[in-house]
Structure formats: C-alpha cells, structure tokens
Amino acid sequence: MLNNVKREIPKTIPGFGDVIPFKGVWQHMPMIHTAPVSLVPSGKGTVKKLHSIEQALDACELKDGMTVSFHHHLRNGDGVLNQVMEAIDARGLKDIHVAASSLFPVHAPLVSLMEKGTVTRITANYMLGPVAEAISNGKLTYPVVMQTHGGRARAIEVGDLSVDVAFIAAPACDLAGNLNGVEGPSACGSLGYAVPDAHYAKRVVAVTDHLVPYPANPIEISQEWVDFIVEVDSIGDPEGIVSGSTRLTRDPLGLNIARKAAQAIEASGLLVDGFSFQTGAGGVSLAVAAYVREIMRQKKIKGSFASGGITGYMVDMLEEGLFRSLLDVQCFDLQAVNSYKQNPAHQFMSASMYGNPHNRGAVVNQLDVMILGATEIDTDFNVNVTTGSTGIIMGGSGGHSDTAAGSKLAIVTTQLLRGRLPIIRDKVTTVTTPGESVDLLVTERGIAVNPRRKDLEEKLNEAGIPTTSIHQLKQMAEERAGTPDPVAFEERIVGVVEYRDGTVIDVIRQQKQHFK
Amino acid sequence: MLNNVKREIPKTIPGFGDVIPFKGVWQHMPMIHTAPVSLVPSGKGTVKKLHSIEQALDACELKDGMTVSFHHHLRNGDGVLNQVMEAIDARGLKDIHVAASSLFPVHAPLVSLMEKGTVTRITANYMLGPVAEAISNGKLTYPVVMQTHGGRARAIEVGDLSVDVAFIAAPACDLAGNLNGVEGPSACGSLGYAVPDAHYAKRVVAVTDHLVPYPANPIEISQEWVDFIVEVDSIGDPEGIVSGSTRLTRDPLGLNIARKAAQAIEASGLLVDGFSFQTGAGGVSLAVAAYVREIMRQKKIKGSFASGGITGYMVDMLEEGLFRSLLDVQCFDLQAVNSYKQNPAHQFMSASMYGNPHNRGAVVNQLDVMILGATEIDTDFNVNVTTGSTGIIMGGSGGHSDTAAGSKLAIVTTQLLRGRLPIIRDKVTTVTTPGESVDLLVTERGIAVNPRRKDLEEKLNEAGIPTTSIHQLKQMAEERAGTPDPVAFEERIVGVVEYRDGTVIDVIRQQKQHFK
C-alpha cells in the first residue's frame, strides 16, 4: 500500500509487526491510553545503591529478549551504554532490544553484539557511525525502528515501546535516586530525554560517577522513579559530551542562505513581540539566529522563548532580553550547561513536553519558527535526514519532524549541492519529515515556498522577496551537477521510519552489497 | 474482623466496598500497577482557554456519578472548589464524588449539596468545619474516605481513586497550561499535592485568576497535563491562603515540652551532620525546631534537609546554613512562599515524592525526626488526629501517618490535658496513625518511649533523660481530670480511615443524635 507520502509500505513487516501507514501530519490523533507501569515499591530503609552494573542486572532480573533503554545527553562521550552492554554480553544474554534515544560512533561495540545475537533489536531517534552502517548492511536481526524525539516519548508512554530496564546516565545522583545533569565531571545539563524512560520503565537504574549528599539540588528526575543506583568510575568522556562552543558559519554561501532565511522570517509577520524560535546547532542555523537577533534588536522585539537542544547562542539571546525563557531538553554546549544550571529563566523540559504529539499539547506546538536541515528534499518538500546519499543510515529525525509539525513556519535551509550531489530530488531516498509540514526551502540560489502556503508566498512577495519553485531550484542544481542515479537497495527491510504519531512514514532497505 | 490495631472492621462496607484490613506499618507492599490514563491529545493550534467553568464542565463531559478533584494549597482561602461545585449544582448533576486533598470551613456550601444528593461521596486527607460536622452527623450518602497525603497520591496513581476531572487552582498559568503557585494575587507557593491529580485525571482544568505570557516561569505543572484553562475573577482570598507568619508558642508548658523533645532528639544520636527534620506549623512544633536550632548552632551541625509543609522558621534555618535544602509540598506562610520562589535550595516535591508508600521510595523514608501532634494517643501509642473528643471529624492524617512511618524517630508532643480532657486513652476514638510507627511521647510531665524502641529508651537514659511509661502518664492525667467517658456512636459507618497503603485502619461511626 502507498502511504500519505506515496511510499510503498508493507502491511506487515517481519520483526516489526502490523503497520499503520502514515496518514498525514495531524491525521492520527486517536484517544490515548497510557501504559500501566508495574513496579516494586521501596519501603523505609531500602538501600538502592548496588556494587556494580552486574548486580543491577541481577536485581532487575534482566533476561533474554528484554528491552533496555538509554538516553543520549552524553552524546559521543557516553560511557554508560557500552558498560551496561558489556555486562549483558558477559552473562551471555541473547535477543536484547536496545532502545537508545540516539546512538553515536562511540557505541561501535554494539556491532559485535548484533553479530553475536546478543542484540537483535534497536530503536533510536538518531544514529551515526558504525552501528548505523552495520544496520544498513543488514547486520541486525530485526529492522531498526527510527523514531522522533517526541515520538519516542509517545511510544514509551502508551507502551508501544515497553522498557524493561532503563539505565539513566546521571552526572549527579544522591543515594535515594534524585539526580541531575548539572554537576560532576560528566555534567551535560538538561536530562529531558530520560524522563519517559524513568517514568515508564519497569526498573530504573541510575548510573553515576558523582554521588552527592541527599537531597541532590536541583532534582531533574526524582527518587520515586529510581529503583537502583550504581556508582562507576566514569559515565563518560567530557570531550565527547559537549562541544566547547557552537560556532556560526563563516562560509559566504551559508551566510547568504541564513540572511535570506531571516528576511523570510521577518516577512512572514511572525517576528513580533512574543516571537518563539528553534534552531539546531549547525553553523547555518546559528547564522540565521544571528540575523534574527539583529532584526529583533533593531525593532526592539521581545521574544517569548527559544526551545530544543539549546546552544550558547540562544543563551546569549536570553541574557540580552530577546527571549524571556529557554525550554531545554538537551544542552548542546558548555555555555548552555552553565546557563541551565544558574539561570531560572532557562527551564527544563521533558521529551514528552517537548514533542509528544499525543499528550495534551507539546512545546513544539507553540513554536513560531523552526530552522531545519536536510540531507535531501524532494519536490513535494519531503525531507530526508535519515539516510545519506548512498542510502546508508547516518542520522534520523531527532526533533526534526516534531518541530516541523508543530511550528507555524518550518524553514529548511540548505545549499543546492552537497559534495557535488544535488540536494533536491524527485523522490528522497528516505522520507523523515513529510513535506506537508515544511513551509519554506531557502537556498543560495533562491527561496521556494511550499504550494500549500500561498499565504506565505504572498507575504514574501509583498515584502519584495522573490520566490521560485522547488522544481526550478532542482533544475539549477542539476544543470551544475547532473541528475544523481537513484540508490540501489536489496529487497530486505532493515529499518522502519516511524512518524511521530507511530504510523510508518517509510522503510529503509538493506544496502546493495557490492563486494559479496 | 480485628485489624492490626485491634479495630473491628467489617469485611465489606456499603458504599466503600471490600476491605483490606490494616496489617502493620510496612506489611502491605504488593507489586504495584499504575493506572492507565485515557486522554484526548491536543494538536497544533488547539485553544485550551474556555470562557467559563460551565463551558469546562461541557468540554469535560461531566456526568452524574463522576469524580472531581481539588487540591488544598489555597486552604481556607480557596475559591475554586465552591465555584466549580456551584456550576455543577446549577446543571442539576447528581451523585458527584468530591476528591479534595483537604476541606476547610470555607467549603461549607458543600453541606447543602450533600443534602440535595448532588454530592454523595467525599474523599479527603483532612477536613475541618461544617462539611466534617455534617458528615459526622450522617448527611453524606456514602462513607467519607479519609486518606493520608501520601496515600492519596498512591490511590490516584494505582486507580483506587480514579479522577474524571481534576480542577487545579493555578495562581499563575499560561495559555498552554504551564502553571505555578508563586505569582499572582493568590500566590501560595508549592503545588505539590496537585501533581497526582494532573498526571492521572482523565481531564485536567486549570482555573486561574492570573494569566501569564507563555511560557510560565517557573513551571510546576506543565502544559502536557492540562486540557483546559478557565480564567475567573478570583481563585481565592489571600487572607485565608497563607498566614502572615507562623509563630512559636510562648506558653511555658509548651516550651517545656519542646525543650524536652529537643533533648530527646539530641540523645537519640540522630542530631549529627546530615540531620533531617520535619515539623508541622503548630506553636510547640516550631518551638522544638527552635531548640534543635540552638543545638545545631552550638555543635556546628550541618543538616541535610527539612521537608513537608514548609514554614518561615524552616526557611530561616535553611538561610542560616543549618540545612542544605528544603523539600516543599506546600508553603505554610508568606516567608515560605517567597523563599520557594527565590531560593533554588528550596525545592519542589509532589505528594507522591513526599509520602506515597508504594512508589520507589518517598522523601518521608529519608527523614530522621518528625514532630507530630495528637488529639488522643492510646497506651499502644496509636494516635488520633481525625476525630475530636466528641467523636466528630475535625482533622485527618494529612502527612501524619506518612511521616510517622518513614522517619527514624517519630515524636508526639502534647500536653496531658486538652480542655480538661486527658489526651492519653486506653483506646483512641479513631486510629489515624498506628502506634507501631510512633516512637516517643513527650508531655509536660514526662517522656514515654514506645516499648518497641528499647534501643531508644536506653539512649535517653544514658543521656540522663528520665523516661516513664505511657500508662503512668495516663494515670497522672486521670488523677487531675478523671477518666473521660467513651463517646457513644450510632451503628452507621460514616467514614473509612484508610492507612497510607490503602488498607483500612479504622472506621468512623455516626454521631449519636441527642436532639432527634
């Protein structure tokens, strides 16, 4: 069957189950029933601290076939997933499902566990590196499930993703299990993505390298959710956890795109008092923020909030009074961590509060403008940030689909070519975010408005901003770089791309094996 | 059948259902299964603000027989419950269950709703005033269920108390439903008791008199839990919400008791670095705190935390460095509200985090010392704070049973006589808190140690603190005031006293009608 973005989706996918095909951005909004949680209550005098991860596996009665979850605030510096999986491997467990909010190159040891059958299922919102490559090459028994940040919270809350044991990397933790991300050698800031895991897993283990006296302060995840505490030498490598600082692009092409995007935002009429904004941490995104900042200063506009993964750049705008508050699910750099620690206007949000489409209203629904990236975009404005030009997994939605769906103006900024390959395609390799939720494409050669947004096109034209069609932009790129050959795949499905509402928006097939 | 505190409890109580008799303080710890929540998801562009409480009743599809819940942070200044119940009455609904965390004299209008059959069930942790009197006199169709603060959180989380619509009195609220208790004309501080309602009710309505720009800051209950928002002229009368300040007793007898209690705490060995402490807001309790403070200063002891309903006195101790943190479920006075608003060490806790016996470990389990009151205490150390000497309901556990069960040293302070009546009885009129969880009774005439705590008695005696038996104290009182006649009741059960774990510790029978 064809889903709403014209992708051929099987009715049933082996190892995944029955499929609800993607129906459109806000079309799957059923009555929601959250999952009951089964837990062991802790009485007076309970000692939660165990001696080792090994002992925690015993205490949690971890068995073949169970699901273990991890959060990714320590990013490529994370040491918890590998330590836990090593302990799981050591006891010869099989058929484990790893539900990690994201996976990074540091998680390469998972590859051999996939090969051995220790790990046969993986669910993640984003993955980059050896694990992603191995999955693309067919090394995981069952298809990987790619979710969004909001969709993962949804799946956990309703039990679509049922977690047996959640391992929470805790930069600071007290002996009752109150924990935060702002203290200790592995401080990473907000622990927003770990909240659904803590609230819905059957067993919750806090893994820390920094025990603090009771009660921890602040408390991001509180003691009533934590079963066990394990102290380890180190939960992560600070080098990989946060970058020292996030930088604006200096590339003239990138700056040109950013300036155009800012002009479009101004022309949209949204850049008024109460303005809200989110960007990623990429150089062009930050340059858009810089241009927007300049306009806000000149026009004395007081914004309401910036959200998402928070960068130092957004902290500067908060401190300058351009926003009243930051809503932070994850800190991208040290400046953000410090601000989150010290400034009460820099507030915590959970993954569900951030982007779950099936709660009573997520923060993304309050967003005016979202700046998005794209690996590919097609002439229906569908965006791929999941697979690279060779079809290999090298990303995933993260918050891409969530913010696109929620924001009033979702802008994709990209150059027309990347590595000599045109970004605009007739058909993206993988649909991550449906074109229905993307309003504008800004490139160095021009701006294309989604035909669904005639109102926006009129506003841009009234402001003297020329627009063109996405087809014309595609043609310009192809005149310079030719038409790329479509990627060839094997038949086997190695990944299922879930839209944030749990419907299936696309599948990922195995890489063609050239060297069999 | 007789339960663990030797109370005769029916196997089934009409209007309540089957009974699990109280088995002992930590004896009912089954595997816990939280209740699934059914909710309507909110998409982009959803407008949550309604024009009136009337409209909210429509939006929530409130029907005969449903359960509506309220929290009591506005105490005797609360305007929300009465406004909502007036609207419910106006549409002629019947058989409504009012689940209020506490009820005060201001809620007197409920009495006529009970008489009309609009309200046939009430559940509360504490009640004082006309509603309590009317229930004691048999005016409620079904027995009132008296819970504890932690027990209410437990009951809501597992679905024993299933809430159809929660009305959250919100001193400050934004249009997406993020709310806090620290701003606006009805600022009351922490909204800890409202959290279970927000998380588990089918529909959640925030009622506010102070809309703030998005996003609210701080956020105590966040937007993903709130379905609807209603703005009213006023949610409460500030006069009744918080007292200007809480005061130490100046009564010599009270000071004598307080000094003895502090000496006992010192002798217990618990008053060392890391010490944690909770008292109520009563004059004697605060005087105990004053003596403890003096000892902490002299011995340079650094405590860890004070918890509970927080008073300005605890704020002073925090600011003086005698505690590192306060854990606050409810602010008792304006000084506490201001501290909670401004001092990051003054932290929020939910009712479940505070006292739920069936989560993974509540704050009460971390408490060293708790200072408790008593209306009556019997020779088994069972305490009554639910009914008065005439048998009429005039209180309830609140956090009494929770903190007694969790703390290492639970001290009841009381004078031997109140209004010429001895406090110590052979058998308390109503068992609120089981004697098993009460360690020490401190009176103006002596200290009695629970025989279960030989270790404690030895420590006190080693420190030169004389102890006596509770029987001797009882005798001293009776020598002065005689033996009070037991209260006579009708047969009909008008109230069920649930222990925090959901078992039944006692029942309350209808007042004898002298003027039929």
The 10s digit of each residue's pLDDT in B143-157 is 999 999 999 999 999
Whole-angstrom Cα distance, residue B191 to residue B350?
8
- ipTM rounded to 2 decimals: 0.96
Residue B238 pLDDT class (50, 70, 90 cuts): confident
Query: Per-residue pLDDT tens for A182-231?
Result: 999 999 999 999 999 999 999 999 999 999 999 999 999 999 999 999 99
- Cβ-defined contact of A361 to B176 (cutoff 8 Å): yes
Average pLDDT over residues A264-272: 98
- Assess contact for A255 and A249: CB atoms under 8 A: yes
Residue A360 and residue B223 in contact, taking contact as beta carbons nearer than 8 Å: yes
For chain B, say whether A177 makes contact (Cβ under 8 Å). Answer: yes
Rounded (10°) CA dihedral B259, B261, B263, B269: -160
Q: Chain B neighbours among A 180-239 (CB < 8 Å)?
A: 204, 213-215, 217-219, 222-227
Average pLDDT of B226-237?
Answer: 97
Contacts of A419 (CB under 8 A, 6+ apart): A389
Verify that B236 and B259 share a domain, yes or no. no
Does B458 lie in the same domain as B353?
yes
The answer to whether position A498 is within a domain reads: no
Give the SS3 label for residue A180: strand
**Other beta carbons less than 10 A from residue B438's beta carbon:** 27
- Of the candidates A18, A146, A130, A38, the one whose C-alpha atom is nearest the C-alpha of residue A82 is A130
Report the number of distinct structural domains present in chain A.
Answer: 2
Looking at CA atoms only, how far is residue B304 from chain A in angstroms?
Answer: 7
Percent with pLDDT over 70 in chain B: 99
Give Dmax over CA atoms of chain A in angstroms.
Answer: 73
A106 and A208 housed in the same domain: yes
Distance from CA of B475 to the nearest CA of A (A): 34
B157 close to B506: Cβ distance less than 8 angstroms: no
Q: Please state at what angle helix A312-319 crosses helix A334-342, rounded to 10 degrees.
A: 40
The token pair that represents B261 in the structure block: 């209690």
Asked if B279 contacts B303 with a C-beta cutoff of 8 angstroms, the reply is no
H/E run at residue A505: strand A504-511
B37 touching chain A per CB within 8 A:
yes
pLDDT, mean of residues A286-312:
97
pLDDT, mean of residues B154-180? 98
pLDDT band at B485 (very low <50, low <70, confident <90, very high): confident
Put simply, whether B321 touches A (Cβ < 8 Å) is no
Residue B507 lies in a domain: no
Chain A residues touching B42 at Cβ < 8 A = 359-361, 365
Whether B32 is in a domain gets the answer: no
- CA separation for the pair B53, B230 (Å, rounded): 6
CATH number of the CATH domain containing B143: 3.40.1080.10
Whole-number mean pLDDT of chain A?
Answer: 96
Let me know: does A399 contact A367? Beta carbons within 8 Å. no
Question: Torsion angle, CA of B215/B218/B221/B224, rounded to 10 degrees?
Answer: 30
Residue at which a domain ends, from A213, A241, A269 = A241
Nearest CB neighbour to B356, from listed A218, A224, A361 = A224
Question: Do residue B86 and residue B216 come from a single domain?
Answer: yes
- Judge whether B515 lies within some domain: no
Asked if residue A259 and residue A219 are part of one domain, the reply reads no
Q: In this complex, do B224 and A304 lie within 8 Å of one another by their Cβ atoms?
A: no
- Tokens coding A395: 């990303």
pLDDT at A515 over 60: no
Query: Looking at the complex, does the CB of residue A43 fall below 8 Å from at least one CB of chain B?
Result: yes
Q: Measured between beta carbons, which residues in chain A are less than 8 angstroms from residue B36?
A: 33-36
> Which helix (H) or strand (E) element contains residue B498?
strand B489-498
Residues of chain B neighbouring A217 (CB-CB closer than 8 A): 324-325, 344-345, 347
Q: Is the residue at A30 inside a domain?
A: no
Q: A27, A32, A39, A44: best mutation site toward chain B, by most B Cβ within 10 Å?
A: A44
Instruction: List pLDDT tens digits, range B323-378.
Output: 999 999 999 999 999 999 999 999 999 999 999 999 999 999 999 999 999 999 99
> Are the C-beta atoms of A168 and A101 separated by less than 8 Å?
no
**Are the beta carbons of A288 and A311 closer than 8 angstroms?**
no
Residues A217 and A258 in one domain: no
Give the closest of A215, A224, A345 to B304, CB-based.
Answer: A215
What's the rounded Cα separation, in Å, for the pair B167 and B171? 13
> Which residues is A327 bridged to in the sheet?
A307, A347
Range of weakest confidence among B165-174, B244-253, B453-462, B491-500: B244-253
Q: Which among B119, B125, B90, B67 is positioned nearest to B497, based on CA atoms? A: B125
Q: Residues of B with CB below 8 A from A38's CB?
A: 31-34
A340 pLDDT more than 50? yes
Residue to substitute from B28, B157, B158, B360, interface A, most A β-carbons within 10 A? B360
In three-state secondary structure terms, B96 is: strand
B514 occurs within a structural domain: no
A130 touches A111 (CB < 8 A): yes
Confirm or reject contact between B358 and chain A (CB < 8 A).
Answer: yes
What integer pLDDT is reported at residue B282 of this predicted model?
Answer: 86
- Taking only the tens place, the pLDDT of each residue in A418-427 is 988 999 999 9
Q: By the 8 A CB rule, do B402 and B362 touch?
A: yes
Q: Where are the alpha helices (DSSP H) in B142-251?
A: 149-158, 195-200, 238-241
- Closest CB from A38, A225, A353 relative to B224: A353
User: What separation in angstroms does the CA of A491 have from each of A20, A121, A284, A508, A510?
Assistant: 21, 19, 37, 10, 7
B229 and B258 within one domain: no
**Mutation site, B183, B202, B222, interface A, largest A CB count within 10 A:** B222
Decide if A115 contacts A94 (C-beta within 8 A).
no
pLDDT exceeds cutoff 70 at A244: no
- CB-CB neighbors (< 8 A) of A204 in chain B: 360
Q: How far apart are CA A492 and CA A512, in angstroms?
A: 10
User: Are A179 and A216 spatial neighbours (Cβ–Cβ below 8 Å)?
Assistant: yes
Q: Which residues of B touch A45 (CB under 8 A)?
A: 365
Same-domain status, A230 and A288: no
A355 → chain B, closest CA residue:
B224
- Does residue B443 lie in a domain region? yes
pLDDT tens-digit series, residues B50-108: 999 999 999 999 999 999 999 999 999 999 999 999 999 999 999 999 999 999 999 99
Q: What is the pLDDT of residue B502?
A: 98
Q: Calculate the average pLDDT of chain B.
A: 96
Q: B512 or B359: which carries more pLDDT confidence? A: B359
Mark whether B284 and B194 lie in a shared domain: no
* B145-161 burial code (b ≥16 CB/10 A, e <16): bbbbbbbbbbbbbbebb
Say which DSSP state B445 is in.
T
Angle separating helix axes B252-268 and B454-462, nearest 10 degrees: 100
Phi, psi (deg, nearest 5) at residue B461: -65, -40
- Residue A263 clears pLDDT 50, i.e. is over it: yes
Query: Is the same domain home to B285 and B162?
Result: no
A41 and B358 in contact by Cβ < 8 A?
yes
Q: Would you say B356 and A228 are in contact if contact means Cβ atoms under 8 Å apart?
A: no
Burial readout B162-176 (b: 16 or more C-beta within 10 A, e: otherwise): bbbbbbbbbbbbbbb
User: How much is the average pLDDT of B284-295?
Assistant: 96
Q: Does A272 touch chain B (CB under 8 A)?
A: no
Asked if B370 reaches chain A (Cβ–Cβ under 8 Å), the answer is no
Sign of the CA dihedral running A271, A277, A282, A283: positive
Which residue in B359, B351, B367 sits closest to B190, CA to CA? B351
Q: Do A44 and B26 touch (CB under 8 A)?
A: yes
CB-nearest to B366 from A37, A176, A327 is A176
pLDDT at A487: 87
Look-up of token digits 């009234």: A462
At B186-201, the pLDDT tens digits run 999 999 999 999 999 9
- Which among B34, B224, B361 has CB closest to A361? B224
Mutation for testing the B interface, residue in A360, A363, A436 having most B CBs under 10 Å: A360
Least Cα separation, residue B2 to chain A (angstroms): 25
Q: Return residues 44-83 of A near B (CB < 8 Å).
A: 44-46, 48
User: What is the nearest CA distance from B40 to chain A, expressed in angstroms?
Assistant: 5
Distance from the Cα of residue B337 to its chain's centroid:
18
Confidence of residue B516 (pLDDT cuts 50, 70, 90): very low
Q: Over the stretch A121-159, which tens digit does the pLDDT of each residue have? A: 999 999 999 999 999 999 999 999 999 999 999 999 999
Nearest-5° angle of CA A355, CA A360, CA A363? Answer: 35
Q: How far is CA A9 from CA A5, A18, A20, in A?
A: 10, 11, 9
Tell me if chain A has a CB within 8 Å of the CB of B362. yes
- Tell me which residue in B223, B304, B357 faces A41 most closely, judged by beta carbons: B357
Tell if the CB–CB gap between A217 and B347 is shorter than 8 Å: yes
Per residue in A80-119, pLDDT tens? 999 999 999 999 999 999 999 999 999 999 999 999 999 9
Nearest CB partner across the interface for A223, out of B44, B218, B361: B361
Q: Contact at 8 Å (CB) between A7 and A506?
A: yes
Domain extent, residue A215, equals 52-241
B278 and B191 in a common domain:
no
Q: Is residue A509 situated within a structural domain?
A: no
Cα–Cα distance, B234 to A495 (Å, whole number): 54
Looking at the fold, whether B284 and B234 belong to one and the same domain comes out as: no
Q: Do B215 and A361 touch (CB under 8 A)?
A: no
Question: Alpha carbon A361 to chain centroid distance?
Answer: 18
Question: What is each CA distance from A143 to A17, A114, A395, A398, in whole angstroms?
Answer: 10, 12, 16, 18
Q: Do B360 and A42 touch (CB under 8 A)?
A: yes
**A415 touching chain B per CB within 8 A:** no
Cα pseudo-dihedral A143, A148, A149, A155, rounded to 10: -60
